[in-house]
Structure 1
């Protein structure tokens, strides 16, 4: 009798799990995947852009940002109006992208603008999650995209809205067919272009907001599914959107199954799995699209009236000394006089941390100078090109697969990841002449791929959410003298080699043909400069995590001070990079003391808007 009761109880539990969790998960996967695919198909037609989707245009990131802000500051509103909150964020992101991308809506430029907006929103969201850890508990997994459902409430909420939006989209198919011929031709055929745009944007935003409010920010499904349908040969928007819905569902469910197969006992973000597939897909589409685009301006900018190093260097050194003095003395709440700097906390934690921060900033800045000089690309930076992210993935692989190895071996994993990123960049970009905007877009695709690997490894290694966010954001927290010794050794070994190549980079700036006519071995110079730049970036990542944008900001500021010649440019960039990261670390440490914001997030909040500014200047 007892055995029979046990069997009945077990059977009931299995039935509860299947009906209450697994079936809702399957259903929401079908609904969310289909919704994202239909939104992507509409956006690609609406913007005449094969790279458009809710993720590449920043719509998902904007919706998730609004949800996080609401959860922190207006939790009641989120509980009652989560969909409306997500819609507001999606609309805001859409307007921001359209206003910054320019009137021509160049496909690669629009996609890159959307990806930068996504980076900006992600940085702010990450900072909020760290600052309000209790209020946003559980958002790490959901923010990366998850189909976990504890009941049928999500399905009941999403299904009617998605069904209505899908039917409306299919009914609008003929109007979209006409619109796809071009706005002028559509107008001449009697179509109200403004009305079609309004309906199409509304449908795509609603579909995106629904998925974010239920399953989080899942990317790349809306990019891949419509292209798969077009490759099959299906034409006409009614069939295109119907088949896209089915393929989007298949892709998302498949990604979820693969994620559970990789780690059966833990929940891996399905958004990370879609990024593993979607990142390479975006690279392919960007490469194919770029072949039809005109080559952009290769000017790196800079002043024609440089300031003499004799005057500039002492000023910057004074700023560095002042920044370090304040960083040593102030912890956000109290000042520590110089006489107490030998105390255990100051000497063992604060002093090495500040020194490491400066060295890492200098290394990243030099890496940026090398990459921008070799590629003659104003957008070249280890974080933009995906080197930082792939370095982090390589370091994490070493950490997870070989947990017994000492920390001093982590740079090897980081360097391997960085080399893979650089090879991907070269293989996908060299035939198009390393166009600045294309190169940045492919780099961001590589970065998404590396970030997906990191997210999977974070979950697999059971790192706590706060520690994972700190690693993903980049932080010098808890760095000591051993880390400083390692950073100093790498700095002393690599920086003189980088300075040696400054003369060759000056020659290379005039073009390969002129450089060769002056006796420069272009291939040798380019290869070694890239190797040094990649190693510098990978070394920095292995010590402090994925800090970006320093290699973009410091060289651009330095060019406005000292001009184009690479020796003064590298010296000033090195000092400015250290100063910038030191200031970012100090701000993150004291602005909400005793809590901290990772310095990588502080830099990203400055770097992403500056990258948008540079994008606007490049033709």
Structure 2
């Protein structure tokens, strides 16, 4: 026992266990007023209050343990399969599929929910997973393709859900609250059912652990040893999706808990795969139980009722940040970026991108719907209304696309995008603080100052927690994810509070250019172009760092200085784009990959063409969002996900 406790992971697990046990005991002491020997007595011998504890509180605690452990186990399994430390239980679009299915059923086919939310949610999860596997099947389920297909499908479904929610806000309010993740139980039925499903998944997983461990280095080496790589990967994906889908179907989306637990275990240096999977389950279970118990106590003493899924970052993020600062980087998992999807020869479409941008500009300025239907007009008043939105959309597209290229090249990770740096969420947190705490109007100078200050604070936190590691890319991204999760938790808490001032921020949060002003939009486009030109001389750094730090250093690059410069550029671009159009940065993930797929392989080429793609997609998205539902609008941020995501998925299937 003494030797076991010398391991960091054991000490942290014991600390979490003691904290979770103490909170559980506190909750039970507040609710149970009878002899403890009767805690599990026959229901017909207990009063009503005791029945509530027996069939509500205890099953809720059990569900917290099982749901948290399942998500952490699924996340660790996905990280092993994908060889990517950023993979999580949401990578396969399981959660997004469940929520989209529930929203669609609630609005368009409410009869489907007659037997509860779980069957509909599970069906949506299964359909989303089938879509991901279908998109990546032609490339033999290569990890990179599965990761990208899952990410884009998840974002695409999220945009669909967002649009339906905008137009049917009253009908979907209950589902959105459920989607925030609630562990409320009225019997032992769901927790018992989840337990048996977890045991079945673990039995299958026991057969897969050895081949999965052998696949951790490369598919070629595993195949040479006689391992059926595709079959094993498909089976492991199915197990991870099965675990995630069951949790989402029963209790909704639990957010950050899976990634936090899996990352904490890896940071603590657990080596063997089976030990990592076991430790991840324990960490996830205890972290979610601790979070939910604290929420029960908060509701008891302050009458503030919050869903567990919305605030998991309040427990997971501080723990992850603490571990990031105290422990060295121990990445036993390779990123999936080693397998490129770039064309050997440039696509003709690459050279047509400037023409496509000009066409998008012409449509945005001169073509639109009015009282008399479609018209192509050169009216000065219309142009005065349209061109600020055009400039804003183009500026945001350029800044987000350039940020995506910088981060993906710097970190050698195809999942890297602006929101993973934590700046977007940090900016949104500062803006919401200004509006809700200090009553500063949205769009005012104070609004901008608060956003810039919070973006700088988020950047300072990232630098602080990574100063000893030399800004290693994986640790920077994981720190950014933790900062983002912490900020998102506060944003969700405020949003759940029902404050009417939240309505001031809905347009901004959904990624709309509605409030674009001529002077500001023109200045931001000019700044975006200047920053794009400023990043082009950094292409040599990007090219060398995208290989690895050792190669870059041997070629004369000061790696630490290069990383600081690139991260600063990324943070500045992300903060400006977020303040302009809100914390929606899908273009930052999409544009670099599209440029790469079309043949822009060199860093300078990828920066230039990704910027063109970003500007084109955002311009078209803003124009289409104004026309499709005329006279109503679909925000440009959501429309960009639908427009660019659909094309991206089509390209993936054709490759």
Q: Distance in 1 between matches of 2:371 and 2:640?
A: 19
Task: Tell me which residue corresponds to 1:71.
Answer: 106
Give CA deviations for 1:415-461 in whole Å, capped at 9, x if unaligned: 444445556667569679636xx977776565444433322233347
Residues 71-220 of structure 1 mapped to structure 2, 5 A cutoff: 71-96=106-131, 100=136, 117-147=153-183, 155-156=186-187, 159-167=188-196, 169=198, 180-182=209-211, 212-213=248-249, 215-220=251-256
Please state whether the residue corresponding to 1:62 is helix, strand or coil. helix
Q: 1:570 to 1:349 in 2, by over 3 A?
A: same
Q: Distance in 1 between matches of 2:57 and 2:206?
A: 32
After the TM superposition, which of the residue ranges 72-81 and 204-213 deviates more from structure 2?
Answer: 204-213
Q: Distance in 2 between matches of 1:44 and 1:313?
A: 38
Q: Does 1:546 align with 2:583?
A: yes
Give CA deviations for 1:176-220 in whole Å, capped at 9, x if unaligned: 6566455899xxxxxxxxxx9999999987775565455432234
Q: Is residue 515–residue 522 contact of structure 1 (8 Å, CA) maintained in 2?
A: yes
Aligned equivalent of 2:399, options 334, 357, 363: 363
Task: Tell me which residue corresponds to 1:536.
Answer: 573
Q: Distance in 1 between matches of 2:633 and 2:289?
A: 42
Q: Does 1:290 align with 2:321?
A: no
Please state whether the residue corresponding to 1:155 is helix, strand or coil. coil
How does the TM-score come out when normalised to structure 2?
Answer: 0.68
Q: Distance in 2 between matches of 1:496 and 1:236?
A: 50
Residue 115 of structure 1 deviates from its aligned partner by 5.6
Q: 1:370 to 1:295 in 2, by over 3 A?
A: closer
Residue 590 of structure 1 deviates from its aligned partner by 1.8
Q: Is residue 358–residue 577 contact of structure 1 (8 Å, CA) maintained in 2?
A: yes
Q: 1:181 to 1:19 in 2, by over 3 A?
A: same
Residue 578 of structure 1 deviates from its aligned partner by 2.4
Please state whether the residue corresponding to 1:600 is helix, strand or coil. helix
Q: Does 1:391 align with 2:391?
A: no
After the TM superposition, which of the residue ranges 81-90 and 517-526 deviates more from structure 2?
Answer: 517-526
Q: Distance in 1 between matches of 2:193 and 2:161?
A: 31
Residues 359-508 of structure 1 mapped to structure 2, 5 A cutoff: 359-372=395-408, 379-404=415-440, 407-419=444-456, 434=473, 447-460=484-497, 462-463=499-500, 470-477=507-514, 479-481=515-517, 484-493=518-527, 495-506=529-540
Q: 1:459 to 1:80 in 2, by over 3 A?
A: closer
Give CA deviations for 1:125-177 in whole Å, capped at 9, x if unaligned: 22221232232133333222235x6xxxx514xx2243244256558877765
Residue 561 of structure 1 deviates from its aligned partner by 7.0
Q: Distance in 1 between matches of 2:196 and 2:337?
A: 41
Q: Distance in 2 between matches of 1:219 and 1:541?
A: 22
Residue 274 of structure 1 deviates from its aligned partner by 0.7
Q: Distance in 2 between matches of 1:318 and 1:176?
A: 53
Residue 78 of structure 1 deviates from its aligned partner by 0.8
Task: Tell me which residue corresponds to 1:10.
Answer: none
Q: 1:492 to 1:25 in 2, by over 3 A?
A: farther
Give CA deviations for 1:445-480 in whole Å, capped at 9, x if unaligned: 654444333222333471477766544431213x14
Please state whether the residue corresponding to 1:330 is helix, strand or coil. strand
Give CA deviations for 1:336-370 in whole Å, capped at 9, x if unaligned: 5646442xxx4674443333223332333343454
Aligned equivalent of 1:61, options 87, 96, 101: 96
Aligned equivalent of 2:311, options 265, 273, 281: 273
Q: Is residue 145–residue 216 contact of structure 1 (8 Å, CA) maintained in 2?
A: yes
Give CA deviations for 1:359-409 in whole Å, capped at 9, x if unaligned: 332333343454456556665431354433333223323333332377223
Q: 1:62 to 1:500 in 2, by over 3 A?
A: closer
Q: Distance in 2 between matches of 1:43 and 1:317?
A: 42
Q: Distance in 2 between matches of 1:24 and 1:348?
A: 62
Please state whether the residue corresponding to 1:541 is helix, strand or coil. helix
Q: 1:211 to 1:20 in 2, by over 3 A?
A: farther
Please state whether the residue corresponding to 2:522 is helix, strand or coil. helix
Give CA deviations for 1:553-596 in whole Å, capped at 9, x if unaligned: 44555564776363x76555444422221111122222122332
Residue 612 of structure 1 deviates from its aligned partner by 7.6
Please state whether the residue corresponding to 1:537 is helix, strand or coil. helix
How does the TM-score come out when normalised to structure 1?
Answer: 0.71
Q: Distance in 1 between matches of 2:481 and 2:256?
A: 13
Task: Tell me which residue corresponds to 2:362.
Answer: 322
Residue 307 of structure 1 deviates from its aligned partner by 8.6
Residue 599 of structure 1 deviates from its aligned partner by 1.5
Aligned equivalent of 1:578, options 612, 615, 622: 615
Q: Is residue 275–residue 448 contact of structure 1 (8 Å, CA) maintained in 2?
A: yes
